[in-house]
Structure 1
Amino acid sequence: MQEVRLSRFERIRGRLRRAYESGRESVRAERAEARDGPEESGLASPASPGPEAPPSATVVGAEPPAAMHTSTSSRDDADVPHALRIAAAWSWRLIVIGIVTWALLKIVGTIRIVIIPVAIALLLSALLAPAVGWLLKARFPRSLATAVVLVGGLVAVIGTLTLVVNEFIQGVPDLSDKSSQGVRQIQNWLKTGPLHLSDGQLNTYINEAQSWISGNTKTFTSGALSATATLAEVLTGTILVLFATFFFLRDGKQIWRFLVRLLPVAARWKVDDAGRASWATLGAYVRATVLVAFIDAVGIGIFLVIFDVPFAFPLAALVFLGAFIPIVGAALSGGVAVLVALVDSGLVTALIILGVVIGVQQLEGHVLQPLIMGRAVAIHPLAVIIGIAAGVVLAGIAGALVAVPLIAVLNTAVRRLAARTVPDTPPDAVVVASQAP
């Protein structure tokens, strides 16, 4: 039976080959007739325009063909130097990127009242997520665990602010008296020091300062009005932070899966891997920053208590908050502690507190941050400074607070997306076991 089928196949194949050969012969014959006819008559026809010129022939009055580069599409492009073409190509691409970046910055600036609270909520979620995980392991419902952690955090923050405000109110009168004494000491130094200013000159400078304040009263008034608007924005942002933090802690994984599903299937694996790595980086950065800030505040606060500097607890709290802005924040908060020590206890105590602040900063930069944060979230100081400056310009203090963790997250995400490794399993993957045949 198989031999019969093979013989039929061979017969069909032979018929097709013979038909193909006959068709080729007829086409060759037609081409030969069309080629021989005009040559015999010596006349050209529309089908055969006539004999072609040899390659070496020169046509009088015709322009030589322009040399075309493989990267050009017209003669005009070929006349432009190669370096200029490359520069133009880079220029228009950079212009497009600049326009897109400018548009994104305008959008961010317009809706910053929403973006900044959401970013702060992400930071708080990364900080509080381990506590929610502990309660979930203790068989707490997810909503209850999230509520307990969020309310506990609010109570801790409100209690700390209450202690700071109470101590500040109690110590302001004494500090005001000492500040007046400090101002008089400065006036005496201006008179007897190297400047040798007279009473008339000091009075002139004081009158000019008062005139400047009087002339800028409208500016201060408008600033108060804008402060009222800023207070409304702060209240709105605080409410948004609380709600966003609650839902990030409770439904963070579901929200991330929903966002990943919006992407093309081919991109989900890489984006999900980069997102999870970025979240781990953000959590490590926030927890390490809190620990470093706590160590800074305790170290400086102990010396403030030892030297009986007023507002020791508020200044320690200020150092703790300032440490969330790397390099810049800790230095500014430490400078405030040095000024208070100068006004209250004199130059010697102020120099000692200054040495303590510098020592703590060196310990933080060379020991604590490399040891606690590790290389996973290590950022070059130049990138930190540029990021903080850009954050201040775009969104003020909140922008400076968010800038560095944003750089750390983007650094991790870009590295993961640029890596050639493929994650083990995609998000929401379903593994189906194959049955043996």
Structure 2
Amino acid sequence: MNAEPRSTSLARTVFTTTITVVAVVAGLYLLFLLRRPIGWLLIASFIAVALSGPVAFLSRWMRRGWAITLTLISVLLIPVAVIAIVVPPLVREGSNLVEKVPDYAREFNDYVNNNERLQRINEEYDITGKVQDWANDLPSRIGDAAELLGNLGVGIVNSVFAAVTIFIMVAFILGSGPRWVRGLLALQPAERGRRLGATLERMGQAVGAYVAGALLQAFVAGITTFIVLTILGIPFAAPLAVMTALFDLIPMVGATIGAVIVGIVTVFADFPLDTIIWVIWAIVYQQIENNLIQPRIQNRAVGVHPFGVIFAVLCGGTLLGVPGALLAVPVAASIQIAVKDWWHWRAEKAAGLELPPGAAPAVEPSAGSG
């Protein structure tokens, strides 16, 4: 008698489980297909949050629309300035290198011919002949380089399209974001909306403080690098300083990567003196940055543990590349704030309290006080 109801219940369970699994798999696949625009939206959201501080500051003296426009124009000038500083010296020196390669090859041949040991090796392996052939063929290889640059240009166009799309998203979020947030909070019960608003405000403050601190840290790294390289007489001091500042934006590992690249350049400038001086300076500066500057930014602005910073950078870099690594720390800070406020809300709800985020419960005065 009970066999039919049991079979019906089992069939319903199997059907429900199957539908749930299919829906989850389809949802994950959809997220995978949309990973690029979703990533752009996340990047645009955090950039907009970081720029909300300057926009609010300028809004005291002008309309919000003009404040947003001025802020976005200032942001656009940054990559233009970087390109203007970095690209012309590289193009100029690259052209000079191509022109001087035959001269370098002849000097190498003369050096080998004047050294008996190298001359014996050259007679066996014909090193100078191969170097001379490579130098003579270099102009004909410009076509291959042009093809490589063409493929690189396609990637640059795609990157420019992504940057323009993110820029437009940032403009929309800055212009309409506060109204969207107020509309969503208005749909919540009064107390929950107030708490969510306070949490979002704290998240925005943490992101803005981190971005401001990171930019200041990168600026200091770039300026000090430029001063040291100028004193040493290293070529490309300005482009290398800009590159160091950009790498310094990547938490934990960016400064080391930039220092290594600059160190390689010093090897070709005046080895070993300039290289030794640069290595000593890089070690000293990184100790100052890691133990004095960066902890202030991470602990005071976002309060994320260094291990959490490393893990967040690895996850962000794996998911979104360099932009993900740059945004990893503010994202981790936002998640940490959201989880803490949710935990406090659960604890207060269990205790029958309703306190604003970060507020301490009132303490009854002890007997005999006053």
**Global fold match (TM > 0.5):** yes
Q: Alpha carbons of 1:398 and 1:103: their partners in 2 closer, same or farther (altered >3 Å)? A: farther
Match runs of 1:234-245 below 5 Å: 234-245=159-170
Indicate whether 1:401 and 2:326 are aligned. Answer: yes
The amino acid across from 2:41 in the alignment is: V
Q: Alpha carbons of 1:381 and 1:356: their partners in 2 closer, same or farther (altered >3 Å)? A: same
1:298, distance to aligned residue in structure 2 (A): 1.0
Query: Could you tell me how far apart the structure 2 residues matched to 1:229 and 1:263 are?
Result: 46
The amino acid across from 1:409 in the alignment is: S
Aligned to 1:380: 305
Aligned to 2:137: none
Query: Could you tell me how far apart the structure 1 residues matched to 2:188 and 2:168 are?
Result: 26
CA contact (8 A) 2:313 2:329 kept: yes
Aligned to 1:150: 72
The amino acid across from 2:255 in the alignment is: A
Aligned to 2:81: 159
Match runs of 1:46-57 below 5 Å: none
Indicate whether 1:171 and 2:93 are aligned. Answer: yes
Larger radius of gyration: 1
Q: Alpha carbons of 1:262 and 1:166: their partners in 2 closer, same or farther (altered >3 Å)? A: farther
Q: Alpha carbons of 1:226 and 1:398: their partners in 2 closer, same or farther (altered >3 Å)? A: farther
1:223, distance to aligned residue in structure 2 (A): 8.8
The amino acid across from 2:254 in the alignment is: G
Indicate whether 1:338 and 2:260 are aligned. Answer: no
Give the TM-score normalised by structure 1: 0.60
Query: Could you tell me how far apart the structure 2 residues matched to 1:250 and 1:324 are?
Result: 27
Report SS of the residue matched to 1:137.
coil
CA contact (8 A) 2:52 2:174 kept: yes
Q: Alpha carbons of 1:224 and 1:172: their partners in 2 closer, same or farther (altered >3 Å)? A: closer
Aligned to 2:232: 307
Query: Could you tell me how far apart the structure 1 residues matched to 2:190 and 2:293 are?
Result: 42
What is the RMSD computed on CA atoms of the aligned residues? 4.1
Aligned to 2:14: none
Which of 242, 250, 253 does residue 325 from structure 1 map onto?
Answer: 250
Query: Could you tell me how far apart the structure 1 residues matched to 2:291 and 2:184 are?
Result: 39
Aligned to 1:114: 37
Query: Could you tell me how far apart the structure 2 residues matched to 1:270 and 1:365 are?
Result: 35
Q: Alpha carbons of 1:107 and 1:335: their partners in 2 closer, same or farther (altered >3 Å)? A: farther
CA contact (8 A) 1:270 1:417 kept: no
Indicate whether 1:392 and 2:317 are aligned. Answer: yes
The amino acid across from 1:242 in the alignment is: F
Aligned to 2:172: 247
1:146, distance to aligned residue in structure 2 (A): 0.8
1:120, distance to aligned residue in structure 2 (A): 3.0
Q: Alpha carbons of 1:392 and 1:135: their partners in 2 closer, same or farther (altered >3 Å)? A: closer
Q: Alpha carbons of 1:310 and 1:253: their partners in 2 closer, same or farther (altered >3 Å)? A: same
Query: Could you tell me how far apart the structure 2 residues matched to 1:400 and 1:255 are?
Result: 28
Segment of structure 1 superposing worse, 330-339 or 115-124: 115-124
Q: Alpha carbons of 1:271 and 1:124: their partners in 2 closer, same or farther (altered >3 Å)? A: same
Query: Could you tell me how far apart the structure 2 residues matched to 1:353 and 1:175 are?
Result: 25
Residues 339-383 of structure 1 show CA distances to partners (whole Å, capped at 9, x for unaligned) of 111112212211211222222211111111233454341323332
Q: Percent identity?
A: 25
Query: Could you tell me how far apart the structure 2 residues matched to 1:370 and 1:239 are?
Result: 33
Report SS of the residue matched to 1:419.
helix
Query: Could you tell me how far apart the structure 2 residues matched to 1:123 and 1:116 are?
Result: 11
CA contact (8 A) 1:322 1:332 kept: yes
Report SS of the residue matched to 1:326.
coil
Segment of structure 1 superposing worse, 303-312 or 397-406: 397-406
1:289, distance to aligned residue in structure 2 (A): 0.5
CA contact (8 A) 2:51 2:208 kept: no
CA contact (8 A) 1:175 1:344 kept: no
Segment of structure 1 superposing worse, 372-381 or 237-246: 372-381
1:264, distance to aligned residue in structure 2 (A): 6.6
Report SS of the residue matched to 2:59.
helix
Aligned to 1:278: 203
More helix by share: 2
Indicate whether 1:290 and 2:215 are aligned. Answer: yes
Residues 229-278 of structure 1 show CA distances to partners (whole Å, capped at 9, x for unaligned) of 54343222112221122122222211222343455767434433322211
CA contact (8 A) 2:210 2:297 kept: no
Query: Could you tell me how far apart the structure 2 residues matched to 1:406 and 1:370 are?
Result: 17
Indicate whether 1:256 and 2:181 are aligned. Answer: yes
Match runs of 1:65-214 below 5 Å: 108-138=31-61, 140-173=62-95
Query: Could you tell me how far apart the structure 1 residues matched to 2:306 and 2:29 are?
Result: 27
Aligned residues: 309
1:155, distance to aligned residue in structure 2 (A): 2.4
Q: Alpha carbons of 1:105 and 1:328: their partners in 2 closer, same or farther (altered >3 Å)? A: farther
The amino acid across from 1:113 in the alignment is: R
Query: Could you tell me how far apart the structure 1 residues matched to 2:276 and 2:126 are?
Result: 28
1:108, distance to aligned residue in structure 2 (A): 5.0
Which of 269, 281, 299 does residue 356 from structure 1 map onto?
Answer: 281
Query: Could you tell me how far apart the structure 1 residues matched to 2:151 and 2:88 are?
Result: 27
Aligned to 1:56: none
Unaligned runs of 5+ in 2: 1-19, 135-144, 349-353, 358-370
Query: Could you tell me how far apart the structure 2 residues matched to 1:201 and 1:380 are?
Result: 57
